[in-house]
Amino acid sequence: MSDLAEALRDTAQAVEARLSTLIPETDGAAAPLYKAMRYSALGGGKRLRPFLALQSARLFDAGETGALRAAAAVELVHCYSLVHDDLPAMDDDDLRRGRPTTHIAFDEATAILAGDGLLTLAFEVLADPETHPDGDVRAALVAALARAAGMAGMVGGQMIDLAAEHRTLDLERIIELQRLKTGALIGCSCAVGAILGGADATAGAALDDYARDLGLAFQIADDLLDVEGDESQLGKGVGKDAAAGKATFVSLLGVDGARARAAGLVADAAARLDMFDSRADLLRAVAEYVINRGH
Amino acid sequence: MSDLAEALRDTAQAVEARLSTLIPETDGAAAPLYKAMRYSALGGGKRLRPFLALQSARLFDAGETGALRAAAAVELVHCYSLVHDDLPAMDDDDLRRGRPTTHIAFDEATAILAGDGLLTLAFEVLADPETHPDGDVRAALVAALARAAGMAGMVGGQMIDLAAEHRTLDLERIIELQRLKTGALIGCSCAVGAILGGADATAGAALDDYARDLGLAFQIADDLLDVEGDESQLGKGVGKDAAAGKATFVSLLGVDGARARAAGLVADAAARLDMFDSRADLLRAVAEYVINRGH
């Protein structure tokens, strides 16, 4: 097993355990909510964002306990966004990671509430003194995650994405959409590591630049998978963008053009981390992985 | 105009202005999101929770700027909860404060996203140094609001409420449901004032007790309005609980019994504030108002 594969597996296990503790099983009257939240957050996913958070935190020798909590918080926001995006009124997806989506496995009301609960829990986790002893650090984490997740970030991006189904976007608009919808949270994943570790402005900016290149490469790879991917391996439907007539990086650049663009971005991303020398090797490796993954 | 009426009006104006600044108008691609968020947060409501936050903060001479920001954050969470609760998959309400609900005025997807955006913005507002210079205070505000809003608070209460449509709850269960669904955020409204003002444990506990009595009285009054209220004055449909066969304080205690219970709670609530003398008169007055309001 490669170093990266091992590190990804370790992160996934640690994050899974942490999320399971944060969302307890309960037999109270609200049990279906907790069950739906656990269903939505546990048992799957590449845990890319937690991996970025943990690796970024290690660059600055931030404490592992706090880094894992921050990583879990970012993942909670990612999971909430999937639950709400999959809803019938939104992307109307029945399948996610090879399992029924939350509103299929439970019902729509429970899925809406589970998403709300996951989002809220993320901020509760960050604000807890267990995440970091310094209140200024905890508040900075909350601010960074809220900005990345909110109207000027992910939620805004999802709004633009929904609106885009009715018109054709050019490349500049697609990049802007991606920057909000997926880029902001990927950037935040690296940022929480920098915040926890008290990174200086230069190091923080280098990570920001890395995350921006990586986020864009990630989205291009996603668009490629929607065209070329194997539905059974992906665990979700493919060809949806084309069927919806949505402009994507592939429809605008072609398959070869998109692939070349993604490879260039990954090379750029790796170079952004020069100041960290070999300590950033896993961050460089995960960027390669992101554009070569099969799911 | 009574002192209370004047104070309520002043608070409503100040909160409206603050919320309008926090959710800017925009003509970008995400404009419908901002429009729906403004529609959901502006132009209505009693602003009871911001009133409680501001009055509680004044008991401890907390700064007005921070108190108003915290008050706005609590109201953002209240507004988000209304938007999501009104959705077709939840309570399926078309009318709120005499206007079409957000998913009617826009569409369901936009309403889900607007709610998500309002919830997220609340935490961004609290975490901002403008709310308080001390990071520990900001993080404590975030933690308090997240706990009140999340799975062990409002979201959990809404889950129990939805499940309750299929069975009859006894009085103890109804009180527990209310404590989560509406009580937690009312309690948090007072708590943010205490946190901002650095209240000691005794004063904080007194406010907690006041808020618990008030919150329960508020819910009983709401149940009475659902039976006795005037639809045009309420700005929303009435008789929905009875039509849904839901147990309420009125179905369990009768109209007279419910009214007596609410009056007793308001007297208790007022007495909880003895240590604050006349400085808490507006908090006592608003408790009276809550059970005598026509909407």
Q: How high is the ipTM of this complex?
A: 0.96
Q: What is the 3-state secondary structure (H, E, C) of A189-215?
A: HHHHHHHHCCCCHHHHHHHHHHHHHHH
* Percentage of chain B lying above the pLDDT 70 cut: 95
Q: For residue A52, which of A180, A186, A170 has the smallest C-alpha distance?
A: A186
Which among A33, A119, A176 is the nearest to B159, CB-wise? A33
pLDDT in tens, A82-93: 999 999 999 999
- pLDDT tops 70 at residue A233: no
- pLDDT tops 70 at residue A76: yes
Q: What is the pLDDT of residue B164?
A: 81
pLDDT in tens, B71-88: 999 999 999 999 999 999
Q: What is the pTM of this model?
A: 0.96
- pLDDT tops 90 at residue B256: yes
User: Which range has the worst mean pLDDT, A23-32, A79-88, A114-123?
Assistant: A23-32
Size of interface A-B (CB pairs under 8 A): 167
Tell if the CB–CB gap between B123 and A117 is shorter than 8 Å. no
Range of the domain at B203: 3-292
Q: For residue A76, which of A106, A49, A108, A107 has the smallest C-alpha distance?
A: A49
pLDDT grade for A235, boundaries at 50, 70 and 90: low
Mean pLDDT confidence for B112-124: 98
* Burial state string for A260-290 with b = 16 or more CB within 10 A and e = fewer than 16: ebbeebbebbbebbeebeeebebbbbbbbbb
- pLDDT tops 90 at residue B230: no
| Residue of A90, A155, A172, A192 to mutate, testing the B interface (most B Cβ within 10 Å of its Cβ) | A155
Mean pLDDT confidence for A133-160: 97
User: How far is C-alpha A29 from the geometric centre of its chain's CA atoms?
Assistant: 31
Which among B113, B134, B151 is the nearest to A135, CB-wise? B134
Q: What is the mean pLDDT of chain A?
A: 93
pLDDT grade for A293, boundaries at 50, 70 and 90: confident
Tell if the CB–CB gap between B134 and A137 is shorter than 8 Å. no
- pLDDT tops 80 at residue A70: yes
Q: For residue B79, which of B97, B92, B66 has the smallest C-alpha distance?
A: B97
- Residue A280, classed as helix, strand or coil, is helix
- pLDDT tops 80 at residue A29: yes
The tokens of B264 are what?
Answer: 């007793």
- Closest chain A residue to the Cα of B174, Cα to Cα: A29
Tell if the CB–CB gap between B30 and A156 is shorter than 8 Å. yes
Q: What is the pLDDT of residue B231?
A: 62
DSSP symbol at B2: -
- Tell which wins on pLDDT, B64 or B239: B64
Instruction: Return d(Cα B266, Cα B291) in angstroms, integer.
Output: 8
Minimal Cα–Cα distance from B60 to chain A, Å? 21
- pLDDT tops 70 at residue A115: yes
pLDDT grade for B255, boundaries at 50, 70 and 90: very high
- Tell which wins on pLDDT, B144 or A248: B144
Mean pLDDT confidence for B155-161: 95
Q: What is the 3-state secondary structure (H, E, C) of B95-154?
A: EECCEECHHHHCCHHHHHHHHHHHHHHHHHHHHCCCCCCCHHHHHHHHHHHHHHHCCCCH
The tokens of A223 are what?
Answer: 């668009």
Question: Do B119 and B80 touch, CB atoms closer than 8 A?
Answer: yes
Tell if the CB–CB gap between B143 and A124 is shorter than 8 Å. yes
- Residue A88, classed as helix, strand or coil, is coil
- pLDDT tops 80 at residue B236: no
Residue B239: CB partners within 8 Å, gap ≥ 6?
B226, B227
- pLDDT tops 70 at residue A232: no
- Residue B101, classed as helix, strand or coil, is coil
Chain B residue numbers with beta carbons less than 8 Å from the beta carbon of A22 are none
CA distance from start to end of chain B:
18
Instruction: Return d(Cα A45, Cα B125) in angstroms, integer.
Output: 31
- pLDDT tops 80 at residue B145: yes
CATH number at residue B77: 1.10.600.10
Which among B29, B113, B158 is the nearest to A113, CB-wise? B158
Minimal Cα–Cα distance from B73 to chain A, Å? 13
- pLDDT tops 90 at residue B254: yes
Read off φ and ψ for residue A269, nearest 5 degrees: -55, -45
- Number of domains forming the structure of chain A: 1
| Owner of token pair 């697609």 | A174
